[in-house]
Structure 1
Amino acid sequence: MADANLAQDPAVAEAKARRAAQRRVWLTRLAGFVVVAGLLWLGWYLLIGRNHVSTDNAYVNAEVAQVTPLLSAQVIEVRVKDTQAVRRGDVLVVLDATNARIAVAQAEADLAAARRRFRQAAATSGALGAQVSGGAAEIARAEAQLVSAEADLAKARTDLQRRESLAGTGAVSGDELTAVRRSFAAAQAAATSARAAVQQARAGRAAAAGQLAANEALVSGSSVESDPAVLAAKARLEAAKLDIDRAVIRAPIDGVITRRQVQLGQRVAQGAPIMSIVPVNTLYIDANFKERQLRRVKVGMPATVVADIYGSDVVYHGKVVGIAGGTGASMALIPAQNATGNWIKVVQRLPVRIELDPKELAAHPLRVGLSTEVEIDLTGAD
């Protein structure tokens, strides 16, 4: 028994030695593998890794167009539904334009009245000009009558003085003297009336001249189509016609209808959103990078994007077109207040906008809100 144990001891020792040797070989290989992996990672980091930043906190976004009516009216036709693709200029909704047509008719009547008033004002200027010219003749006639009346007054005065000088001699009777005095008084009244007639003629001419000047100020330098009142009436007519055009609501951009909130027969209010259009051909990526990742990021750097909907089989190429002016927390509706003593630092993220290649986007369409992974090449820039 003892001899058998002695015979087995060398074999056991040899097996142990062999296992130890194998363990050393595997440990050496593992150490070599770790060293090689470390060197490969270091090489990758020095050549590639440190020149790229990436994040999976990235989402598809777009400048969504809000469709709003520009007048209040009843909906008489709805031609689109949610998820429907539309082109710019396609008719979306038709509103009742009855009130707009009535407004156009009223505006056309106002325009015709404005043109008529201008023609009337222009004709009035001619009439007033004739009155001014006639006023000059009337003044000349009144002045001539005044000269005649003053001559008659002078004669009556001379006759009166001659009769009065002879009254004491008895050569002139009392009746004759009375008649001469009456003639003198009549001549005085006629002269006074003639002077008043001259003043009246001059005042009439001045009034006509003033009216002519006022009327000329209204029509001078204008035609029936350039008169301010006519232009204002034209503007009101154009505004009324524009309301008729606005009764047909068209798509402002290419895209897909979403959040349609309008129904047939509904009365929509001016400025109230009735649907949205997502421009699926001009989507972009909002990638939220950590603040330390943005030390070397600049506008124009190339980027690659992988969307979860397609996986790594589809890679989009784009470039950085902008970096947000504030972090998501600072732009929140209720920003965080960290002015207290109980403050814990939280790494902030800053949105970076990535513009995608339109051809790749058309080949593999995306939708707003989809998750993506973004990687930016820090060595390239425009």
Structure 2
Amino acid sequence: MMAETNHRLKFNLAIATLLFIVIALGVALAYFLILENEEETEEAYVAGHLVQITPQVGGTIRRVMADDTDVVKKGDVLIILDDSDFQLAYERAQNELIQAIRQNKQQTAGSSQTKAEVLLRKAELAKAQADLRRRESLAGTDAISGEELSHARAAVVQAQAALKAVEAQEAAAQAALGSNIPLRQQPAVQTAISHIKDAWLNLQRTQIRSPMAGQIAKRNAQVGQNIQQGAALMAVVPLNNLWVDASFEEQQLRKMKIGQPVQMVAELYGDKVVYHGKVMGLSAGAGNVFSRTSSQDTAGNSVYRVPVRISLDEKELAANPLRVGFSMTVTVDVSAAGTGKTMVAAAEKNTALPEAEAVDWTAADALVEQIFEKYAK
């Protein structure tokens, strides 16, 4: 009986040892086939751009159209400033252009009148010279006296002086108008047009719009607040241009390369939603080369981590939205070739960075055309 019990114990021990060996081999095989080709971290968070909303003109806030957590579209009005002073400046600029056009028309009319006077003075000079020649031909005879001849010579001198005077007036009028310069290219008119555009632009800027779609954060604007140009009023976080900053231990970067595929799981959705991205590079910090953090392992040793930026697919973001600060679990496939560049190599420039739209001058140009059509005829 005792021998049978010992035999069973030995058999069970052998089975247990065999199972342990099989499990150990399975773990080793899984490590070499899978885990060795992956680097994973739970120290990962969603990040995004923080676009500051600042006024381009100073003034008093009349209305705030958006608050924290609001989702806005590109071009939505966020803040409205009191536009009374800007409206008056806009009207003055229009009057300045009207006055410049009228003044140019007056100068053109004056120049035409001066040209007519020049022609008249030339005719008077020609007549005086003809009279002088006729009288000089009669000099020494009883047909003309010396006094009459002197008067004829004085008339020529007087006509020459009058001609020079009106020619100087013509030159001054021509200088004021420019030498064959069209109305729209006259300096005073050009200056008035620029003042209209400047006043129009300032008037548009009293409505502060969102430069891109996103979520409002850090609202500081209050109704009645007097603000200066460049003051931070709120921020917009673009929700379609997010990425993940994942902190890895330094030794985890040995096989990691830019462009390697990444799978991510958000704490919000769990394993049922998997995001895909690529390694973009190391995130530079404000202090050292990396903005790195430290923690302690089970032995109490300090473990340093550096942030790695991971891209997010826009279509996947649209299907399952994320917000800045959400926790993620990140797994990088380090067996993939990627771009071939190591993590310490320079990353490729992101050509998809957002940019502000150029000013559309259509409305201002249309107003200028209306003024010319009405007053320049």
Contact 2:290 2:307 (8 Å CA) reproduced: no
Q: Following TM superposition, by how much is the alpha carbon of 1:285 offset from its aligned partner in structure 2, in angstroms?
A: 0.7
Q: Following TM superposition, by how much is the alpha carbon of 1:368 offset from its aligned partner in structure 2, in angstroms?
A: 1.2
Q: Following TM superposition, by how much is the alpha carbon of 1:231 offset from its aligned partner in structure 2, in angstroms?
A: 3.2
2:175 aligned with 1:214? yes
Give the structure-1-normalised TM-score. 0.72
Q: 2:94 — aligned with what?
A: 108
The CA distance in 1 between the partners of 2:254 and 2:124, in whole Å, is 96
2:272 aligned with 1:287? no
* SS of residue in 2 equivalent to 1:210: helix
Instruction: Please give the per-residue CA displacement for 1:195-230, whole angstroms capped at 9, x wherever unaligned.
Output: 633642553364245335424525x2413x454432
Q: 1:361 aligns with which of 305, 312, 317?
A: 317
Alignment of 1:1-382 (within 5 A): 22=9, 26=13, 28-29=14-15, 31-148=17-134, 150-151=136-137, 154-155=139-140, 184=146, 186=147, 189-190=150-151, 193-194=154-155, 196-197=157-158, 199-201=160-162, 203-204=164-165, 206-211=167-172, 213-215=174-176, 217=178, 220-223=180-183, 225-320=184-279, 322-324=280-282, 326=284, 329-330=287-288, 349-378=305-334, 379=336, 381=338
Q: Following TM superposition, by how much is the alpha carbon of 1:38 offset from its aligned partner in structure 2, in angstroms?
A: 4.0
The CA distance in 2 between the partners of 1:70 and 1:80, in whole Å, is 18
The CA distance in 2 between the partners of 1:33 and 1:145, in whole Å, is 141
Give the structure-2-normalised TM-score. 0.73
Flag the structure with larger Rg: 1
- Note the residue ranges of structure 2 that are not aligned, 5 or more in a row: 293-301, 340-377
The CA distance in 2 between the partners of 1:316 and 1:93, in whole Å, is 36
Aligned length: 329
Q: 1:340 — aligned with what?
A: none
Runs of 4+ in structure 1 over 6 Å off: none
Instruction: Please give the per-residue CA displacement for 1:312-341, whole angstroms capped at 9, x wherever unaligned.
Output: 443222223x214646652579x9xxxxxx
Q: Following TM superposition, by how much is the alpha carbon of 1:131 offset from its aligned partner in structure 2, in angstroms?
A: 2.6
Q: 1:168 — aligned with what?
A: none
Contact 1:288 1:352 (8 Å CA) reproduced: yes
* SS of residue in 2 equivalent to 1:376: strand
* SS of residue in 1 equivalent to 2:229: coil
Q: Quote the RMSD (CA, aligned, Å).
A: 3.6
The CA distance in 1 between the partners of 2:283 and 2:165, in whole Å, is 76
Contact 2:74 2:212 (8 Å CA) reproduced: yes
Deviates more, 1:258-267 or 1:187-196: 187-196
* SS of residue in 1 equivalent to 2:178: helix
Contact 2:128 2:155 (8 Å CA) reproduced: yes
